[in-house]
Amino acid sequence: MITNSFRVAVENGDIVSVRAMIKNSMLVDSTFDELNQMMGIAKDLPGLYEPYDEGELSFNQNDWAGNDYIAMMMSQLVGNFCHERIEHLKKVVGHLRPAALRSQQTTSASRTEIRQTPPSPAPQPLRSGYQKQSNRDRRNDRIVSNRGTKIAVGAVAGGVAGGVVAGITSVSVLIGTITGAAVVGAIVAVTTNGE
């Protein structure tokens, strides 16, 4: 769902906020539906996209292992917000999170044919709203079960958020990114200690 704050940022020509929200949506919505909607809404925003700077993009999937590469590509997207980098990141995220590709293929297929949905299993008694969402996510392959991957994804998300906050508050973006990555990565490490 596209937020009102995104629409307002587009209307106000707030390129920094629009770029940050588009970039962050790649990590939040693994189907890229939100990303595609956002890009459609912002397509006429002057100055949103830059020409590709010809910076190196690795097409060797072995280089994509772990989240160091995705973190580097997210960082480079901030410095060169272009269609080529966005499309490359979609491929990387889709490779690292295969559920994203399955969801995209299902979405594409559902547009061209009518699909019958099998009946849902009987609901199980749950103790909390968190458990309900967690079970739904597991059924839909949205849960990352590897602790190391969770820590890395948390660090990337923290780095992105830290970089955005630093950019807004006139603090060094590099320091904000590193601090955000370290803090959120540590929090995820502690909270997933038993996994």
pLDDT tens figures, 174-192 = 776 777 767 766 676 666 6
pTM for this prediction:
0.51
Report whether pLDDT(111) > 80: no
| Domain contains 16 | no
Lowest mean pLDDT among 6-10, 40-44, 67-71: 67-71
d(Cα 193, Cα 195) in Å, to the nearest integer? Answer: 6
Report whether pLDDT(137) > 60: no
- Which pLDDT tens digit goes with each residue over 59-108? 888 888 877 888 889 889 989 999 999 999 999 888 887 654 444 444 44
Do residues 30 and 98 touch, judged by C-beta distance below 8 A? no
Band (156; pLDDT cuts 50, 70, 90): confident
| Domain contains 47 | no
Number of domains in the chain: 1
Do residues 81 and 48 touch, judged by C-beta distance below 8 A? yes
Q: Which domain holds residue 181?
A: 144-195
d(Cα 163, Cα 182) in Å, to the nearest integer? Answer: 12
| Domain contains 163 | yes
Q: What is the pLDDT of residue 95?
A: 83
| Domain contains 107 | no
| Domain contains 127 | no
Report whether pLDDT(121) > 60: no
| Domain contains 55 | no
| Domain contains 189 | yes
| Domain contains 162 | yes
Mean pLDDT, all residues of the chain: 74
Do residues 57 and 70 touch, judged by C-beta distance below 8 A? no
d(Cα 7, Cα 12) in Å, to the nearest integer? Answer: 9
